[in-house]
DNA sequence: TTGAAAGCGCTAACAA
DNA sequence: TTGTTAGCGCTTTCAA
């Protein structure tokens, strides 16, 4: 009736041993009944389940992971959850993961390569089954290469390190920026500005984020194609809302101030609006504004903001799917998923044509 | 030179055994050198570290957790990360956790008790060292009681189940609502409205969120104390921005429309602003608005919004500290931390006095 | 269908 | 300082 031998040190909280004893079966049988694998008689199953219930048994998944080699956990290395864009990406990602029985460990990198490297190390040590990463730099990807070589399932989202052979889920930032600016040009604007992100790494070197860069390149190309100039003053560098406000305020105070300003992301657009208020300019009569990313507040500013909307939630959800498939089939060919952006015309662009 | 015996099944990826062999020491010595515990000669340490480097060794923390009984992981059970408030709470929480060497597993409950119960079960099975929870219901707390009895370290944030003996980190929602409304009354308003959240659970029963309830009670008490009436039409139930917009639009179309409307949270305030635009009313000339939570957009609406600011990040950071202390000292007395809110006066309230 | 036994990769107590 | 050994709680052959 008591097949197995009591482990020498009794565990705190009941283990499968206790359940087995309580049910009068072996540990193997109890494990089979509880884990839903192998074959167990109906009778045994009922007894084990009742015993587990009585004892308040909770399976120890770290022990399980030890044996199966799977943690049923995914990692997410993103810049900052408190950034609304990433918050939605993460929501999509956790939903996708959860649907397949996976949990997710969240790590914020603040766009810092060192933090990303450290976070990747931690996730690796925790043996997560797969990792989502929005790389902090498109240049520093060695740690990701190493992870990949070790067989780590990896998916890049929002941005990607060129040449890194992983699944990728992005939007076409270049195209979106390009088309948006084309529209504004078509509306008759010739002086269009777009402050650009300038992040300093700990070494003082510029840490360019590919997403922003691509949007900006789309802007530059659309301008060039229309024969329009982009003086340096129209593309000032800044980091964060306050700096954007500052450089934009200066830009809008110039004699040749732009007639339209493009916010390359949520926080940039906010900084631009701050500047417009600081300069006491009317939108869109005196200056037009358009931005990237359709957040909740774009319809409560007056006039409502015209923006490029990107499917943040879907980006995360799609990345989860890709990662899950990668875990299933490590050697299947990699895919790059380019999700569509949408131009949302509202009232913040004046028609000069 | 090769003290230990090769395990029968060679592991994929190198284990501490491989490192030990490569370094010519025993597993225990390798483990000590790598884990930074016990005593190891300088010579051995160097050899082990070199071997680990050469082999690309990564410690398996699930195995470590197995023996130490610690996962160095915390769980977070919150409504929704894509809600800016919770996103900031989570950021504070992960930062606090990370500082002490902990990672965090994120679970969204969508204010649903069932999901919360299930999430708690998962986190328990994963043997996280502590759990942060923003309870979905202040009535359904049995699962939390059970966790507590089992010795689970727990901290409640933003809301709490009355009588549940855990550390708690909140703001005084009642007081904040009360004082804000007092201010508006002092500005001469007598007809003040505040739509209230009505969430339906899967069973169709109302699932009241204590936070919103307390704010609303503060509003009611401030009104009552000033001898002001709160007709039912001034406190319509709604769920989500769109519904708030709808009920508020109707409210503002009445002959006895309120002169001020209180947004009980971010999404409510957004819905109220939507309604104000829909009714084509001027703020604050025709209607005043004030809200709870100072999000990024409150300064880009015109007029800028007067709000009660709450320290979302600090709520999370403080909860992390409390949880970490609880893990250290499971039996120390519980504390309730009430973080201060701040009234931020901007321009959205008309002075009628 | 069931039980015995091995072992996942690590830490920790003990001995040398 | 170092090595031996015994597990942590589970899954998984292999026999019975």
Does the pLDDT value for residue B336 go beyond 70? yes
pLDDT at B5: 47
pLDDT digits 0-9 by tens, B223-236? 999 999 999 999 99
A63 touches chain B (CB under 8 A): yes
Residue of A60, A104, A299 with shortest CB distance to B127: A60
Q: How does pLDDT run along chain A (353 residues), one tens digit per residue? A: 334 444 433 335 789 999 999 899 988 899 888 888 878 888 889 999 999 999 999 999 999 999 999 999 999 999 999 999 999 999 999 999 999 999 999 999 999 999 999 999 999 999 999 999 999 988 888 999 999 999 999 999 999 999 999 999 999 999 999 999 999 999 999 999 999 988 765 555 556 678 999 999 999 999 999 999 999 999 999 999 999 999 999 999 999 999 999 999 999 999 999 999 999 999 999 999 999 999 999 999 999 999 999 999 999 999 999 999 999 999 999 999 999 999 999 999 999 98
B21 has a pLDDT exceeding 70: yes
Could you tell me where the beta strands, DSSP code E, fall in chain A? 73-78, 103-108, 130-133, 154-157, 167-171, 192-193, 196-197, 237-238, 260-263, 288-292, 306-309, 336-339, 342-344
Give the pTM.
0.94
Q: What pLDDT, on the 0 to 100 scale, is given for residue B271? A: 98
DSSP for B308-353, please give it.
Answer: EE--HHHHHHHHHHHHHHHHH-TTSPP-EEEEPPEEE--S-S----
Chain A residues in contact with B59 by the CB 8 A cut-off are 125
Rounding to the nearest 10 degrees, give the CA dihedral for residues A253, A254, A258, A259. Answer: 60
Phi, psi of B260, rounded to the nearest 5 degrees: -145, 145
Contact B141, B135 (CB under 8 A): yes
The top-scoring range by mean pLDDT among A6-10, B38-42, B123-127, B195-199 is B123-127
B203, pLDDT greater than 70: no
Residue A339 burial (CB count, 10 A): 15
Q: What is the pLDDT of residue B173?
A: 97
Distance CA B94, CA B320 (A): 8
Mutate to test the interface with A, among B57, B67, B74, B82 (most CBs of A within 10 A): B82
**Nearest nucleotide by C1' position to the B20 CA atom:** D3
Nucleotide nearest to A61 (CA to C1'): D10
Residues of A numbered 297-336 whose beta carbons fall under 8 angstroms of chain B's beta carbons: which are they?
297, 299-302, 313
Question: Of B141, B6, B84, whose CA–CA distance to B310 is shortest?
Answer: B84
Mind telling me how many Å the CA of A226 is from chain B's nearest CA? Answer: 32
Map residue B307 onto helix, strand or coil: strand
When pLDDT is cut at 50, 70 and 90, the band that residue B7 belongs to is very low
Alpha helix (H) residue ranges in chain B: 16-23, 27-35, 42-55, 61-68, 84-99, 113-125, 142-149, 173-186, 210-225, 241-253, 266-278, 312-328
Choose among B169, B199, B191, B217: nearest CA to B340.
B169
Residue A299's nearest CA partner among B273, B298, B262, B294 is B273
Query: Average pLDDT of B182-197?
Result: 97
The sign one gets for the Cα dihedral B142, B144, B146, B149 is negative
pLDDT in tens, B210-259: 899 999 999 999 999 999 999 999 999 999 999 999 999 999 999 999 99
Using the CB atom, is residue A37 less than 7 Å from strand D? Answer: yes
8 Å CB contact between B67 and B97: no
Between A11 and B304, name the one with better pLDDT.
B304
pLDDT of residue A4: 47
Q: How does strand B103-108 pair with strand A103-108?
A: antiparallel
CB pairs under 8 A between A and B: 144
Residue A35: predicted pLDDT: 83
- The confidence score (pLDDT) of residue A9 equals 37
Pull the structure tokens for residue A64.
């399980």
Which tokens hold the place of A309? 């909307």
> Quick check: B247 CB within 7 A of strand C?
no
A234 and A194 Cβ atoms separated by less than 8 Å: yes
Of A270, A271, A265, A227, whose CA–CA distance to A251 is shortest? A271
Contact A105 B103 (CB under 8 A): yes
Supply the DSSP symbol for A299. G
At residue B242, the pLDDT reads 97
Higher pLDDT residue, A33 or B298?
A: B298
Residue among B279, B311, B312, B300 at smallest CA distance from B348 = B300
When pLDDT is cut at 50, 70 and 90, the band that residue B126 belongs to is very high
Please name the helix (run of DSSP H) or strand (run of DSSP E) that holds residue A241, with its range, or none.
helix A241-253
pLDDT digits (tens, 9 = 90+) for A8-59: 333 357 899 999 998 999 888 998 888 888 788 888 899 999 999 999 999 9
Distance of CA B344 to the CA centre of its chain: 22
Q: Residue A81 and residue B103: Cβ atoms within 8 Å?
A: no
Nearest-Cα residue of chain B relative to residue A152: B13
Decide if B301 contacts A300 (C-beta within 8 A).
Answer: yes
Longest dimension (CA), chain A: 93
Q: Report the DSSP beta bridge partners of residue A156.
A: A133, A168
B14 and B28 Cβ atoms separated by less than 8 Å: no
| Six-digit token string for B214 | 């307390």
**Alpha carbon A119 to chain centroid, angstroms:** 15
Task: Tell the residue number behind the tokens 């493009």, with chain if given.
Answer: A262
């Amino acid at each position: 009736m008591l097949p197995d031998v009591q482990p020498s040190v009794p565990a705190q909280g009941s283990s499968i041993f206790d359940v087995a004893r309580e049910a009068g079966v072996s540990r193997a049988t109890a494990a089979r009944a509880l884990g839903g694998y192998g074959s167990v008689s109906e009778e045994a199953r009922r007894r084990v389940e009742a015993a587990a219930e009585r004892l308040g048994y909770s399976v120890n998944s770290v022990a399980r992971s030890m044996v199966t080699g799977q943690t049923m956990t995914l990692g997410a290395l993103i810049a900052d959850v408190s950034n609304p864009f990433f918050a939605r990406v993460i929501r999509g990602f956790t939903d996708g993961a959860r649907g397949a029985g996976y949990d997710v460990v969240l790590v914020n990198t603040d766009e810092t390569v060192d933090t990303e490297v450290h976070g990747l190390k931690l996730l690796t040590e925790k043996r997560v089954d797969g990792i989502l990463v929005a790389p902090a730099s498109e240049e520093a990807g060695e740690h990701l290469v190493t992870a990949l070589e070790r067989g780590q399932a990896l998916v890049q989202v929002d941005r990607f390190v060129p040449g890194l052979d992983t699944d990728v889920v992005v939007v076409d930032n270049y195209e979106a920026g390009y088309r948006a600016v084309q529209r504004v040009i078509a509306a008759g604007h010739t002086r269009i500005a777009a402050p650009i992100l300038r992040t300093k790494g700990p070494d003082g070197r510029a840490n360019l984020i590919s997403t922003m860069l691509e949007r900006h390149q789309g802007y530059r190309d659309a301008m060039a194609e229309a024969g329009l100039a982009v003086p340096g003053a129209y593309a000032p560098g800044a980091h964060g809302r306050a700096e954007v406000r500052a450089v934009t305020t200066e830009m809008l105070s110039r004699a040749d101030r732009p007639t339209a300003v493009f916010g390359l992301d949520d926080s940039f657009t906010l900084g631009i609006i701050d500047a417009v208020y600081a300069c006491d300019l009317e939108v869109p009569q005196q200056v037009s504004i358009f931005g990237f990313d359709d957040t909740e507040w774009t319809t409560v500013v007056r006039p409502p903001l015209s923006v490029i909307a990107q499917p943040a939630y879907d980006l995360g959800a799609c990345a989860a799917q890709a990662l899950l498939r990668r875990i299933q089939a490590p050697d299947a060919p990699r895919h790059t998923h380019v999700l569509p952006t949408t131009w949302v015309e509202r009232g913040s662009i004046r028609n000069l044509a």
